[in-house]
Amino acid sequence: MVIRAERVRRRYGETAALDGVSLSVGTGTVFVLAGPNGAGKTTLIRALTGTTRVDGTVELFGKPPSEVSGERIGLLPQEFAPADRLTARELVAYYGGLHEESRDTDTVLEDVGLTETADTHYEDLSGGQKRRVCVGTALVNDPELLVLDEPTTGVDPAGRHELWGVIEGLAERGTTVVLTTHYMAEAERLADRVGLLADGRLVALGSPAELLERHGGADRLVVAVDDQGAATRALERAGYHVLPDERHLAVGVGPEEIPAVVETLADAGVDCERLTWRQPDLEDVYLALAGVDVDPQELSEPEAVRA
């Protein structure tokens, strides 16, 4: 077992940043801590890596974090800003020099997809390329455990997908990866196991498939209508199950029932502006379990950003 945490608690004044979190991470897996900003993800990362004091038990490789050599761990904090005027190659080489042993700089750059931009100054790289450099600095000591705190925050969608590929490649080569995110699509794409955090509590734990099976709910037809109240009443009178959904009207039906739903709404004088049939995803799981007022936009793909 790479990580074991039991009943971990951390308070800041009256605020419980962590409230009795227990989890474990096995060798060679990708474990994703997911949840909105302020859920406690960064505090838990600091607890697991021994950079903040907590109540409860935390072990890395069967030992307290303070007894584990830093050579075994690669850590990329959420706030990490290397020198702008150094090139990608110079940055990876510099951080490699901080370790007793380090990997070949060019090999690391190849692993994170920066061979062609290795001699570009950090300030001239795109947002996705910058984060790949940062991942490279965390990889240069060839860690057994790689910890990434929101590695794709502020990265445009194309850059995010590139980083996902980097992380998947590392996992395939046997690196244990722990990362935090508030993008549910990221968790669903990368994770072997997911821990969903809300208000410092671990509200769900399992593989994406397990969480969807247990908490995802039914397949649904999502309907944007001009009068949601009238639409709900008409559908319920017709015997349809209207699902709780904070974004739009959602009806628990299969795709073959869509024409009948549309006809029911038309007969009630309700105009349909848009219809989407979809299966539940981790965003639905989170909204069902969190028990907090979560802005759905916060759990979705962010707008494109070039850092």
Q: Is 142 helix (H, G, I), strand (E, B) or coil?
A: coil
How far apart are the C-alpha atoms of 196 and 2, rounded to whole Å? 19
Helix (H) or strand (E) holding 198: strand 193-198
Angle, CA of 88, 92 and 94, to the nearest 5°: 115
Q: Which residue has the tokens 């965003």?
A: 283
238-256 burial: b if 16+ Cβ within 10 Å, else e: eebebbebeebbbbebeee
How far apart are the C-alpha atoms of 216 and 218, rounded to whole Å? 7
Question: What residue type is assigned to position 40 of the chain?
Answer: G
- Check the CA dihedral 90-91-97-103 and report its sign: negative
Residues 195, 31: contact at Cβ < 8 Å?
Answer: yes
Give the model's pLDDT for residue 246: 57
How far apart are the C-alpha atoms of 284 and 208, rounded to whole Å? 12
How far apart are the C-alpha atoms of 212 and 206, rounded to whole Å? 9
* Closest listed residue to residue 112, CA positions, set 166, 168, 188, 152: 166
Q: Is 89 helix (H, G, I), strand (E, B) or coil?
A: helix
Question: What residue type is assigned to position 185 of the chain?
Answer: A
Residues 89, 118: contact at Cβ < 8 Å?
Answer: yes
Question: What residue type is assigned to position 210 of the chain?
Answer: E
Give the chain's domains with CATH numbers.
Answer: 3-214 (3.40.50.300), 218-279 (3.30.70.980)
Question: What residue type is assigned to position 182 of the chain?
Answer: H
pLDDT digit string (tens) for the chain, length 307 residues: 999 999 999 999 988 999 999 999 999 999 999 988 888 999 999 999 999 999 999 999 999 999 999 999 999 998 888 999 999 999 999 999 999 999 999 999 998 889 999 999 999 998 889 989 999 999 999 999 999 998 888 788 888 888 898 899 889 988 999 999 988 889 999 999 999 998 899 999 999 999 998 888 778 888 888 888 899 999 999 999 898 665 678 898 888 999 999 999 999 999 888 888 888 888 888 877 875 444 444 444 443 333 3
Paired with 29 in beta bridges are: none
Please state the φ and ψ torsions of residue 236, each to the nearest 5 degrees.
-65, -35
199-226 burial: b if 16+ Cβ within 10 Å, else e: bbbbbbbbebeebbeebbbeebbbbebe
How far apart are the C-alpha atoms of 77 and 131, rounded to whole Å? 11
Paired with 243 in beta bridges are: 250
How far apart are the C-alpha atoms of 108 and 102, rounded to whole Å? 10
Residues 90, 123: contact at Cβ < 8 Å?
Answer: no
